[in-house]
């Protein structure tokens, strides 16, 4: 009999009941909540007079709507100017308190983007099934957990039953081997992969990322890769557990301690695909071929290396290319280094962990942002990331270069708070979606790595950071 | 949830691939804590020329007359015809809420993003996957025939064209059953409470650290 993939293992040990019609009842070990997708779920629960199945698996933190300006933040919920945002953050806080759910409020130093806070606190552990009403829950698969985004009806289902009804996905392996070029990072890997398989390439699959390049990445880098599995169409990304994963969990507040620590570690080590596991699809990537990546269009698959150009008609399906060039204000065949930028955003659950900020700061140190840049924001992924960065003096490096140093939250990744692009403004962004209007009405997003965004802020347009001095 | 059995309606063509949920319902409208009332903001960025904000009077806004839903022939459409990877991006269930609230009960595409597909069934919307060839043919027909409508029969799993020709579609048995009967999934799962408790006990033996909150 063929061996099992990591996904097979994780899925099978969470089946509560097989229904016989391909849909199974799956047990959920961890449920994360944020303010945008949970209010209607709690409302449904209350209307049906149902209780929480198991309080202790739930954890809440506001992130999408929270202001990132220090002055607005100091007053907590009361300080949120937008009444709709305020109501959502209040509602999350009220619902969590009413049900006894652990949550970090806006004034808590540990508050941050849900997918950054989860791993940071040890709330996410290998072998868990994890869900959240947010598609970038896929980030957490980097720890060997089966982590998936769900809709609000499913949030309610998990609150009430601790289970979900789900079909098993197919297995895809993206095997990435070889050494990365200098300054090429996890973000470039995943953008390159999406460019290769397309945004629907992973639909219906759980993607495991494997190979020596993935093994060589830090756990943080692995999170960046799994974060954008959803942009490749897959609900979940996965990376096998290794010593780095286990070391990452050590000493985190919610990680197992005492008598369970050893037992847990032993179990975690089994969370790898068997050597003879069969995948439904395998994609191989030679890491040494990956250049720093830049998206030029309105879908993450519209991406090229820094030495590349916006394609011309025959290389992308005609209509999509024309619509994208029109929206982005670019012409076919234009080199991406010619794209002039208005704003720079370093942040989001893709790239706002400490490693990302260090990489960006290293490029910025002792330099100034270009005069043509209207705004350059650095938004740490959590309060703890911010504190650590400040203790290393990264905030000073950014501030002296002309960046703004903000409080943690989703911020300009989706522009639900006050941080947004103006119409037709081009932004170098370390986030994950370049959809029309994502960062503000009429805004034009280019997805890049933190180092690429930092360099673009200094020069005013994209540059090949492999030649940075 | 409203049941879905047979539905007849006018088809509106949205000739675009990779329509994401940000496009279906822009983020500024996600600030509501309700499930209803999103219809007026469906495809807001495409329907209007200015930037929409919650609480605006849509009657006073400049309309994008080129956009399909603003054309008089597609008023009252209940079936949306689209291209591949519809509903990609954010998991927001506000997307199906907005489509439903606007009046769409059926979406035809050559492919849907997973989370969106799943979310549709929770809200009484039937997403139907058809081959790219049939989708292409439908685009041609819809464009050339004003008032082009289809009949969708979920029980028989087919689509009937005005000519009387029918085309079968595939659908998962569980989803079909839920839509046909308007089932309460949570209620169904709660009937399995004993089984869930049993699972927890078994699993606790293997991974006790995951159940520390249940120990006392
Ligand atoms: S940072 Fe962006 S992608 Fe991540 S959870 Fe927040 S809004 Fe979503």
SS3 A337: helix
Ligand 1 mutation pick, A431, A435, A439, A450, max ligand atoms within 8 A of CB = A431
Q: Which residues contact B60 (CB under 8 A, 6 or more apart)?
A: none
Tell me if B192 and A128 make a contact (CB, 8 A cut-off): no
Q: Parallel, antiparallel, or unpaired for β B79-81 and A426-429?
A: unpaired
Residue with tokens 């849907």, as numbered in its chain: B112
Q: Check residue B2 and give its pLDDT.
A: 80
Pocket flag, ligand 1, residue A410 (CB < 6 Å)? yes
If you ran DSSP here, which 8-state letter would residue B183 be given?
-
pLDDT tens digit sequence for B61-94: 999 999 999 999 999 999 999 999 999 999 999 9
Tell me if A200 and B114 make a contact (CB, 8 A cut-off): no
CATH number of the domain residue B150 falls in: 3.20.19.10
**DSSP states along A409-435:** SSGGGTT-SS--PPTT-EEEE-SS---
Q: Which residues of A touch B45 (CB under 8 A)?
A: 436-437, 441
Name the domain count of chain B. 1
Q: Check residue A317 and give its pLDDT.
A: 60
Regions of chain A where pLDDT drops below 50: none
Q: Check residue B144 and give its pLDDT.
A: 95
User: Which atom number of ligand 1 is nearest to the Cα of residue A348?
Assistant: 1
Ligand 1 centroid, distance to A432 Cα (angstroms): 8
Q: Check residue A359 and give its pLDDT.
A: 98
Q: Check residue A1 and give its pLDDT.
A: 73
Find how far residue B44's CA is from the centre of its chain.
Answer: 17
Spatial contact of A142 and A240, defined as CB atoms under 8 Å apart: no
Kindly state whether B192 is in contact with chain A, defined as any CB-CB distance less than 8 angstroms. Answer: yes
Helix (H) or strand (E) holding A177: strand A170-177
- Domain membership of residue B162 (yes or no) is yes
pTM here is 0.95
Nearest Cα to Cα of residue A44 among B33, B98, B114: B33
Kindly state whether A260 is in contact with chain B, defined as any CB-CB distance less than 8 angstroms. Answer: yes
Q: Check residue A427 and give its pLDDT.
A: 98
> What's the start-to-end Cα distance of chain A, in Å?
55
pLDDT tens digit sequence for B206-216: 999 999 998 75
Kindly state whether B113 is in contact with chain A, defined as any CB-CB distance less than 8 angstroms. Answer: yes
Q: Check residue B1 and give its pLDDT.
A: 77
Structure tokens at A286: 């030679």
Q: How far apart are CA A221 and CA A354, in angstroms?
A: 11
**Cβ count within 10 A of residue A72:** 18
Q: How far apart are CA B208 and CA B202, in angstroms?
A: 10
Q: How far apart are CA B112 and CA B95, in angstroms?
A: 13
Q: How far apart are CA A313 and CA A388, in angstroms?
A: 47
Nearest Cα to Cα of residue A103 among A38, A170, A27: A38
Band the pLDDT of B205: cuts 50, 70, 90.
very high
Tell me chain A's radius of gyration from C-alpha atoms: 21
A106-131 core/surface letters (b: 16 or more CB in 10 A; e: else): beeebbbbbbbbbbbbbbbbbbbbbb
Beta bridge partners of A153: none
- Domain membership of residue B59 (yes or no) is yes
Furthest-apart CA atoms within chain B: distance in Å: 69
pLDDT tens digit sequence for B107-136: 999 999 999 999 999 999 999 999 999 999
- Domain membership of residue B193 (yes or no) is no
Q: Parallel, antiparallel, or unpaired for β B6-13 and B79-81?
A: parallel
User: Which structural domain range is residue B143 located in?
Assistant: 6-181
- Domain membership of residue B205 (yes or no) is no
Residue with tokens 């250049």, as numbered in its chain: A291
Q: Parallel, antiparallel, or unpaired for β A15-18 and A23-27?
A: antiparallel
- Domain membership of residue B198 (yes or no) is no
Tell me if B114 and A13 make a contact (CB, 8 A cut-off): no
Q: Check residue A133 and give its pLDDT.
A: 97
**CB-neighbour burial class of residue A265 (10 A; exposed 0-12, middle 13-18, buried 19+):** middle
Q: How far apart are CA A424 and CA A438, in angstroms?
A: 12
Q: Check residue A347 and give its pLDDT.
A: 98
Band the pLDDT of B188: cuts 50, 70, 90.
very high
- Domain membership of residue B189 (yes or no) is no
Residues 135-164, chain B, touching A (beta carbon < 8 A): none
User: Which atom number of ligand 1 is nearest to the Cα of residue B90?
Assistant: 8
């Amino acid at each position: 009999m063929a061996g099992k993939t990591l996904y097979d293992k994780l899925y099978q040990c969470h089946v509560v009941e097989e229904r016989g019609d391909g849909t199974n009842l799956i047990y959920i070990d961890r449920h994360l909540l944020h303010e945008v997708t949970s209010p209607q779920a709690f409302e449904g629960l209350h209307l049906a007079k149902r209780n929480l199945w198991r309080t202790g698996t739930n954890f809440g933190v506001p992130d999408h709507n929270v202001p990132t300006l220090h002055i607005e933040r100091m007053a907590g919920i009361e300080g949120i100017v937008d009444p709709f945002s305020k109501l959502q953050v209040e509602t999350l806080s009220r619902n969590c308190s009413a049900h006894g759910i652990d949550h970090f409020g806006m004034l808590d130093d540990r508050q941050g983007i849900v997918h950054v806070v989860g791993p940071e606190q040890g709330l996410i552990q290998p072998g868990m099934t994890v869900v959240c009403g947010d598609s970038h829950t896929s980030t957490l698969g980097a720890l060997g957990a089966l982590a998936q985004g769900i809709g609000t009806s499913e949030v309610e289902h998990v609150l009430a039953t601790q289970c979900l009804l789900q079909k098993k996905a197919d297995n895809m392996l993206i095997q990435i081997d070889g050494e990365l070029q200098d300054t090429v990072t996890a973000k470039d890997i995943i953008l390159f992969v999406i460019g290769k398989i397309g945004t629907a390439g992973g639909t219906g699959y759980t993607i495991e990322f494997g190979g020596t390049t993935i093994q060589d990445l830090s756990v943080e880098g692995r999170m960046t890769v799994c974060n954008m599995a959803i942009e490749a169409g897959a609900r979940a990304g996965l990376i096998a557990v290794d010593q780095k994963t286990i070391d990452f969990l050590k000493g985190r507040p919610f990680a197992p301690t005492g008598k369970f620590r050893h037992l847990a570690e032993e179990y975690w080590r089994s969370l790898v695909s068997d050597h003879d596991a069969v995948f439904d699809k395998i994609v191989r990537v030679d890491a040494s071929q990956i250049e720093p990546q830049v998206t030029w269009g309105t879908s993450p698959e519209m991406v090229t290396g820094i030495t590349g150009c916006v394609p011309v008609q025959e290389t992308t399906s005609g209509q999509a290319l024309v619509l994208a060039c029109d929206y982005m204000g670019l012409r076919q065949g234009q080199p991406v280094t010619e794209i002039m930028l208005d704003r720079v955003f370093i942040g989001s659950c893709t790239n706002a962990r400490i490693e990302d900020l260090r990489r960006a700061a290293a490029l910025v140190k002792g330099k100034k942002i270009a005069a043509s840049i209207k705004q350059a924001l650095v938004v740490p992924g959590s309060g703890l990331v911010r504190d650590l960065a400040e203790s290393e003096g990264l905030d000073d490096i950014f501030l002296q270069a002309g960046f703004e140093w903000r409080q943690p939250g989703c911020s300009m990744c989706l522009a639900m708070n006050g941080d947004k692009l103006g119409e037709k403004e081009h932004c170098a962004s370390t986030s994950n979606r370049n959809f029309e209007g994502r960062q503000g009405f009429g805004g034009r997003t280019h997805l890049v790595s933190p180092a690429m965004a930092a360099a673009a802020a200094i020069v005013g347009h994209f540059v090949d950071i492999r030649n940075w001095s | 949830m409203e049941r879905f059995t047979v539905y007849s309606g006018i088809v509106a063509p949205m000739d675009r691939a990779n329509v994401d949920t940000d496009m279906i319902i822009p983020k500024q409208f996600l600030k509501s804590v309700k499930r209803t009332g999103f219809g007026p903001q469906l495809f807001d960025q495409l329907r209007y020329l200015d930037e929409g904000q919650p609480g605006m009077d849509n009657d006073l806004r400049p309309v994008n007359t080129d956009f399909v839903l603003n054309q008089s022939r597609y008023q009252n459409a209940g079936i949306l015809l689209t291209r591949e990877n519809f509903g990609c991006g954010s998991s927001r269930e506000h997307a199906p809420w907005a489509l439903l609230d606007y009046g769409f009960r059926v979406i035809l595409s050559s492919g849907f993003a997973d989370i969106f597909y799943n979310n549709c069934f929770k809200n009484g919307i039937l997403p139907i996957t058809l081959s790219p060839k049939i989708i292409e043919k439908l685009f041609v027909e819809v464009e050339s025939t004003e008032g082009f409508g289809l009949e969708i029969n979920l029980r028989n799993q087919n689509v009937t064209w005005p000519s009387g020709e029918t085309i079968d579609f595939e659908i998962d048995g569980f989803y079909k059953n839920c839509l046909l009967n308007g089932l309460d999934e949570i209620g169904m799962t709660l009937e399995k409470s004993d089984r869930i408790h049993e699972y927890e006990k078994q699993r606790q033996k293997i991974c006790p650290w995951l159940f520390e909150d249940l120990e006392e």
